[in-house]
Amino acid sequence: MSAAMTAQPAQSINIRHIALATFVPVAVMLIALYWRPIWRDEAWALFMSDPSIGLGGVTARSSTNVHPPFYFYMLHIWRLFADGILLSKSLNLALIIIGIFAALRIGKAHRMQTYLFLLFCAGSYWLIYFTSEIRPYALMFIIGTLSVLAMARILQSTKGVRIWPFAMAWAVLSAAACLTHYFSFIWTGAFGLLTGLAMLKQGRAKDFVIVGAASVAGIIPGLLFLANAYGQMGIPPGEELSIMGNLAYGFNQFQRGMVTKLFGSNLALAIIFFMSIAIMVRRRKPVDIAIGGAVILTVTALFIVHIVWQPVIKERSFIIIIPAMIFLMTRAVMIDTDGKWRGRVIRALPLVIAITPLLFVTEYFKDREQMSDVRALLSTQACRGADITAYYRPAPEGEGFNEYYTRLSLDGLGVTLIDSSGALRARASDCPIKALALQLPRGEKDEHSIARAALSVSGVPVSELEEISVGKGRNLLYRSRP
């Protein structure tokens, strides 16, 4: 290890204070996990991993989806032993605990760096937000964290040191990443390429071959699945925008994901990082060059795909590179150099880590679709046991999903839902709610008209009932007029 990394920085880092401050974002994460209601995309993950369909069924459903199946396999197996919404969310906690032990093992040669990196990751918006959701992105963050540590161990090693255990770890983690999110192909290729070139520059031809073979091995499983699934995959059409329109949309998502929610949730780290870029460039450490270059290559490739082929960029598209950026910020903090303002920011780190989650508290606890409001309207004694006609918007990406989500959301209310596409009609009851139209696209008037027509055909006197919009037009309820 270099002297710069073994020595305590001039601006003393109090790791105990940072660890204590990290209790705040961890507490926010746990409260959000318990408190925040699930929404459509989480219900989709539950639908994909339904314990009743077997692993073959999970594979079949994943083949028509834009996400590969690794996370859904894990969730499916987890739910065989721990089913239910809160228990399904708790899979993320199990993965975080496993990830911490693996990270400490991989990064034990650079302990201070590893400890700080993990503590800074714990305060990241992306880990807090997605740990409380039943979706693949917390797993992506954890895989990204371990991948960076494995490759950093290779990059920080010297000629003659055995790197194959870490190359094997990189290969396994890359395979898991590519089978969790397709954008991981780009990151694996970029990071593997630049690390291999760093090995060549140091005269380590054997290590170059090992890194290259590990990177290719990591990509192959995902490529095989993609080759089999591509023809069935339901890629949603993007908005009809011009090239400049697509570029503007992509930059907006980049700004939200990388600037607001990466730098904004690691504010002091971001300040130190930008203060230290010149120093990091002058030092020319292979680990900084390879990680920084891989980030730039990945972002560039994502924008090319977004503009040339399909407008695919969302703010979460960059989650595979978020741990890499936090790792660079960690290394910036550890630079041993004098500087009055730098020292002040480092001393403020614990306070900033403790306060920053409050900036995003509305995001962490957002009820995206207000299904809890639908439940409240149906939870009266008069509605218990009532038959209510329900319209589920057709979901071409998954037959039966919307009915699954509706019954999941309204479970325990004692309401019998009758699909509006059938010939059955609801019996008269004292429940003022006579019909529902659920999971509609937000604010789309045409879809609302289709829902009203379907309910009318099924015998619901829509024109005589009061329409209530819940969740910004995502759900419509029809209630008897006073």
Q: What is the pLDDT of residue 239?
A: 57
Q: What is the pLDDT of residue 217?
A: 97
Q: One-letter amino acid identity for 76?
A: H
Counting as low any pLDDT under 70, the low residues of the chain are: 1-11, 234-241, 394-399, 420-428, 443
Q: What is the pLDDT of residue 10?
A: 45
Q: What is residue 278's DSSP assignment?
A: H
Residues 6+ apart with CB under 8 A from 372: 37
Q: What is the pLDDT of residue 373?
A: 83
- Cα separation, 195 vs 211, in Å, equals 7
Q: One-letter amino acid identity for 155?
A: L
- Cα separation, 306 vs 310, in Å, equals 5
Q: What is the pLDDT of residue 336?
A: 81
Q: Give the global pTM.
A: 0.90
- Cα separation, 155 vs 191, in Å, equals 11
Which tens digits make up the pLDDT trace of 383-440?
888 888 888 776 655 667 878 888 888 888 877 777 766 444 445 578 889 888 887 8
Q: What is the pLDDT of residue 148?
A: 97
Q: What is the pLDDT of residue 214?
A: 98
Which tens digits make up the pLDDT trace of 233-252?
765 555 566 778 888 889 99
Question: How far is it between the farthest Cα atoms of the chain?
Answer: 83
- Cα separation, 467 vs 481, in Å, equals 9
- Cα separation, 214 vs 233, in Å, equals 28
Q: What is the pLDDT of residue 89?
A: 96
